[in-house]
Amino acid sequence: MNIFQTSTAFFPSMGGAQLHWYTIGKMLAERGHVVTGCGQWKDHRNRYLIDSTLKAPWGDDVYEAGPITVHRYQPGALARAWMAPLLPFCLPLPEIGYPLISCYFARKMMKTKVKPDVVMNIRIGREHFSWASYQVAKKHGVPFVICPNYSPRMQSKFGQVVMRNFFRLLRAADGVVVFTPAERDEMIRLGVRPENILLIGVGPLLAEEWDTVAFRKEYGIKEKMVLFLGQKLEYKGFDTLIEAAPKVWEKHPETSFVFIGPHYPGTKEVFEKINDPRIVDIPRIDAFDPIKVAALDAANVFALPSRQEGIGGVYIEAWALKKPVISCKIPFLTIRDGIDGVMVEQDASLLAEKLTWFLEHPEEAEKMGQAGFERVQNEYSWEVIVSQVEEFFKKLTTGK
């Protein structure tokens, strides 16, 4: 099959969705399929609409991401000028704000010299790239599949209003890929036909070799350790974990709090103001960097108190190292509260209470980590995941 995989942010841009679908695309290519990528940026951005229009990178280009050839398409100066007055309408009136922008990028995508058998879009940020991908699929007369990365924020009253146009796209898609039964149920509630939904797992992305002793020595890790692994964005809860640290130190002063992940404007300054060696800040690392696995291995507990997660692959990576996890109480995670981790509100006091409990009950922590590890072995194999996607694409393209 010729698979056209589109996403506003494309690998080597770091994020759970980017890494997950790059891995799937790479493995599909290794199975003999031709996978062509299409995106806008490969760095770290979080102002999705403005960073893909007015402040998008300049100039189209092509690069290789392993076996995937990736085309990047950006708006020119004239396009940015006429897009500017449309942007204020994109959230309150998406039916007015997005169509012209989507058509512009669809024309750009059609320049890619590939005749796809299926178009696969991964929604990251706003919906213009998803609608453009849909238009490309229709012009080629091939199935359109989308991974919405549905988040709890979309369930809010505000989310239901501003995302209404995107929900229409989900209903129009030939296939919708989700990661949890709760997300599947939400798609059905939104009007997606059950037979159009593919439920898959998320596999761990880990180096095969690492040195935990060297990691502890290099970063001065204390007797115990709490690990945060993710983008340092406010909604991810890194600041909540920082606030929880002194409360944990009241009973367990020899505990290091390690934060691994890329910085965004203003976050680096947060760590620079902290004058305590027990707070360890490690900037961006690659998905398969041995430091990540060494940190997971060294940790007593993994804590990512994020308010929204589309995939939550880092929790599964922690389970792969037999670590218990702490998350926020959001509906689309696969964590079984009290079995392979615990779920709390994004509150420093509540978070500190759970962290303290884990540090004081190592046997219970070990049981939860083992429960998570067994799930990784049974449910989150990359070979199984890729085979599910491959069969789904074949069914859509052949009708069998």
List the chain pLDDT tens, one digit each, 400 residues: 999 999 999 998 877 788 889 999 999 999 999 999 999 988 876 677 899 999 999 999 999 999 999 999 999 999 999 999 999 999 899 999 999 999 999 999 999 988 999 999 999 988 999 999 999 999 999 999 999 998 877 888 888 888 999 999 999 999 999 988 889 999 999 999 999 999 998 889 899 899 999 999 999 999 999 999 998 988 899 999 999 999 999 999 999 999 999 888 889 999 999 999 999 999 877 778 999 999 999 999 999 999 887 667 899 999 999 999 999 988 777 789 999 999 999 999 999 999 999 999 999 999 999 999 999 988 888 998 999 999 999 999 997 6
In the chain, CATH 3.40.50.2000 sits at 2-203+381-398, 212-379
* Planar angle of CA 6, 8, 10, nearest 5 degrees: 70
Q: Are the C-beta atoms of 126 and 48 separated by less than 8 Å?
A: yes
The pLDDT score that the predictor gives to residue 53 is 94
- In this structure, the chain runs to a length of 400
Residue with tokens 């506003």: 8
Q: What residue type is 333 in one-letter code?
A: L
CA atoms of 256 and 274, how far apart (whole Å)? 13
Q: Is 360 helix (H, G, I), strand (E, B) or coil?
A: helix
Secondary structure letter of residue 238 according to DSSP? H
Structure tokens at 131: 């609608």
pLDDT at 334: 79
- pLDDT of amino acid 46: 66
Distance CA 197, CA 184 (A): 7
Helix axes 362-379, 313-320, angle to 10 degrees: 110
| Helical segments of the chain, H only | 16-30, 48-51, 77-83, 94-109, 128-140, 157-162, 164-172, 181-189, 212-218, 238-249, 267-272, 290-298, 313-320, 348-360, 362-379, 382-398
Cα 71 to Cα 261: distance, rounded to the nearest angstrom: 26
Task: Report the pLDDT value the prediction gives residue 311, as an integer from 0 to 100.
Answer: 63
| Contact yes or no for 267/46 (Cβ under 8 A) | no
Which amino acid type is present at position 328?
C
Q: Which of 90, 78, 68, 86 is nearest to 7 (CA)?
A: 68
CATH number for the segment(s) 2-203+381-398: 3.40.50.2000
**pLDDT for 377:** 87
> Which DSSP symbol is given to 194?
G
Structure tokens at 217: 């020595």
What three-state secondary structure class fits 156?
coil
- Beta-bridged to residue 228, according to DSSP, are 259
Q: What distance in Å separates the CA atoms of residue 400 and residue 393, rounded to the nearest whole number? A: 10
CB neighbours of residue 38 within 10 Å: 26
**Cβ neighbours around 194 below 10 Å, total:** 9
For the domain spanning 212-379, the CATH number is 3.40.50.2000
Q: Is 279 buried (19+), middle (13-18) or exposed (0-12) by CB count in 10 A?
A: middle
Give Dmax (Cα) for the chain: 63
C-beta separation of 17 from 49 below 8 A: no
Question: What sign does the dihedral 51-55-61-66 (CA atoms) show?
Answer: negative
Backbone angles phi, psi at 41, to 5 degrees: -135, 155
Token pair 């990365």 is found at 149
pLDDT of residue 153: 79
pTM of the model: 0.79
Q: Determine phi and psi for 72, rounding to 5 degrees.
A: -110, 130
- The answer to whether the CB of 126 falls within 8 A of the CB of 154 is no
Question: Do 33 and 3 contact (CB within 8 A), yes or no?
Answer: yes
